[in-house]
Structure 1
């Protein structure tokens, strides 16, 4: 077999392939065996008819077409390997010569990973928020701990922000009841904003047994996008009593004997959390800077395929109901055209990130061993709140192991850039990235790779 590669653009090539007829002999043998099992020829048992009779029955051209269709995927893959083509997506194949006994020829156009000129990593300079832990941060953590151990007490007054209430809800659209908006005895913390838009504002000042009406735009259900009149009736009203901050509380809420010890531990926890946030910010900012500094041609068909997939996922969730989609988009203040444009921008960003990180991983000759892949799988299982065994089973069934492998490889490549980038905080101080991303111990290295891979995945979704 002979093949040549023609560069059509930075992101697309054409493979021209010539296959000698004798190389198809194994495919012919396979085709005749399959056809012999499918047709009956008098005087021969099924599967035993000779090739000449089968050919006479179905036609030489039909046999040749089946042989070519069966052989094409393998010959295409062979040409891709021989040509060192980094193919993306599905090829467009055109058979240019097909005659019995003659050389079989075809062309295949396919998108490919472009050559990317990477900037010097030392030229990547970013700024992140300074890492500071204030007394207010510690008090906020202490307040959260007190709320966990707080108690609810009924009150005889109007609802205030932060109260816990039981409510009955109903709604109408154009005077008609909205069935899926009715509920009774619903518990709600006023001010958390987790229910209907405008509800918390309406509840403040209402007493037990009173009813308040307000208007809002429904975001889900058959009436999504419609303006509704919502009626809310308050049942019970309770406020949360917080325990006093003393040594007794410290012993109740922690392993410490004194409030001072508890506060010192909370300060350490806040600092550790802010360090993790800063590490994530460093990776995100370095990646954004790399995208800014690097020219990355994007393969059009790959981008469009990803955009179509994003759109399909949303439409599928709405049972492919175009009217329901239009209402949902209207409720969000956007249009179908803007929605599809945003999907296109998101897909292009994802593709650019993937191409950039793959180029870095190649340049750094990044490898991923079995242990790193397993650590990443466990990390992802925890991230999605799944049993590791069930997560692995789903990954294998969906053939997602190669994708997870790529996530780890891309994350490790990005980590290499981060270590060489110039990072300063908002106070103008240099940030020691090695102290953050190269702590002592193998477990820390594994965690770094997982966190970098997570940053990669998050960046692609933005």
Structure 2
């Protein structure tokens, strides 16, 4: 076999392959055997029909077609390996010449990973938010905890802001009561915004036994997005009572004996959260700086596939679960279709560039992934999917996605190398030490906004 490579652009090549006919022998034998099992010829036992009879009855062309279809993947793979290419996706194959007993010639166009030159990244400098926790932040955290331990008691008065009311609801669209539009004994805190728009105004001032009717756009169910006439009846009004902020509350709501200890722990938790946010912010900004340093051509077909995958996942998974259409989502986000298209394309471009650059860094820095690192990442991903680690691991193995997870961990380690080499300062001018951060893989996914499964599945 002879092959030659023509570079069409930095991300696409054309392979021209010539195969001597004798190299098709195994595929021809397999083609005759396959046809033998599929056809019947009078006078011959099934599977024992001579090749010359098959040629006469069904045509040599059918045999050649079967043989070529069987042999092409191997010859293509051999040519790719010989040229040391990194193909993306499936090739577009064109048979140029097929001479019986002489020659098979074909071309294969395919997208490839571009060759990247990673420059010195040690000079990257970024600024992140300083970690500041004010007394007001601690007050708010303690107050939120206090809200969780509120008690309620029925009152004989009209409902007010903050009260917990028990409601019966009935929704009509075009005068017809919806099958899923009736609910009984719904508990609702006035002002929480957890039910329908307009419900707060409808129930305020109402006492037990009173009802009101208002119009609201339904957020879910069979008539999501439609205007409905909603009748709400108040069956009970209960006032919320908050516990006193004292040592007794600290003992009720936590493992601490005093309110002072509880406040100190709340401050520590807020600092930890801000440290994580700061580390994520640093990684995102370092990644952005790194991408600015590297010229990364993006294969157009890969980009279009990634864009389509992102749209499909949004429409059929995320929005579908919320009962929203894309049009309604854009309306809620106050975005035009053009703005959505632009943002989706930009995110897809960044995701692909991020993977290319970090994969190149993995090779350059000779980074490996050990079993412990892979297991830790798998457990994190399982938690995010709502599955147990064992269930998630089984799904990953059955779906052939282990290399994808390994790639995610390796890219996380590559980003960590760049972050470690960068200078990170906060807005107060203080140098930030991120050496203890262990969530690099998660940060890569956040920074790249990546649904990388789509691209990984395209690599051969």
What SS does structure 2 have at the residue aligned with 1:182? Answer: strand
Q: What's the counterpart of residue 110 of structure 2?
A: 110
Distance 1:333 1:266, change over 3 A: closer
Whether the 8 Å CA contact 1:152–1:238 is kept in 2: the answer is yes
Q: What's the counterpart of residue 440 of structure 1?
A: none
Partner Cα separation in structure 1 for residue 389 and residue 175 of structure 2: 50
Q: What's the counterpart of residue 428 of structure 1?
A: 429
Distance 1:25 1:423, change over 3 A: same
User: Aligned ranges for residues 342-381 of structure 1 at < 5 Å?
Assistant: 342-381=343-382
Whether the 8 Å CA contact 1:220–1:328 is kept in 2: the answer is no
Distance 1:227 1:116, change over 3 A: farther
Distance 1:458 1:25, change over 3 A: same
Per-residue deviation, residues 202-222 of structure 1 (Å, max 9, x unmatched): 544544444344444344455
Q: Do structure 1's residue 394 and structure 2's residue 409 form an aligned pair?
A: no
Per-residue deviation, residues 171-223 of structure 1 (Å, max 9, x unmatched): 44455544434322222233333333444455445444443444443444554
Deviation of the 1:303 alpha carbon? 1.0
Normalised by the length of structure 2, the TM-score is: 0.87
Deviation of the 1:61 alpha carbon? 1.1
Q: Do structure 1's residue 50 and structure 2's residue 50 form an aligned pair?
A: yes
Q: What's the counterpart of residue 456 of structure 1?
A: 444
Per-residue deviation, residues 131-164 of structure 1 (Å, max 9, x unmatched): 1232233333323333333322223444444432
Deviation of the 1:332 alpha carbon? 5.4
Whether the 8 Å CA contact 2:315–2:325 is kept in 1: the answer is no
Partner Cα separation in structure 2 for residue 172 and residue 328 of structure 1: 23
Q: What number of residue pairs does the alignment pair up? A: 446
Distance 1:370 1:55, change over 3 A: farther
Q: Do structure 1's residue 279 and structure 2's residue 267 form an aligned pair?
A: no
Whether the 8 Å CA contact 1:15–1:107 is kept in 2: the answer is yes
Q: What's the counterpart of residue 191 of structure 2?
A: 191
Deviation of the 1:407 alpha carbon? 0.8
Q: What's the counterpart of residue 90 of structure 1?
A: 90
Whether the 8 Å CA contact 1:219–1:331 is kept in 2: the answer is no
Partner Cα separation in structure 2 for residue 314 and residue 250 of structure 1: 43
What SS does structure 1 have at the residue aligned with 2:167? Answer: strand
Name structure 1 gaps, 5 residues minimum. Answer: 438-447
Deviation of the 1:416 alpha carbon? 0.7
Distance 1:24 1:369, change over 3 A: farther
Deviation of the 1:329 alpha carbon? 4.9
What SS does structure 2 have at the residue aligned with 1:122? Answer: coil
Whether the 8 Å CA contact 1:6–1:15 is kept in 2: the answer is yes
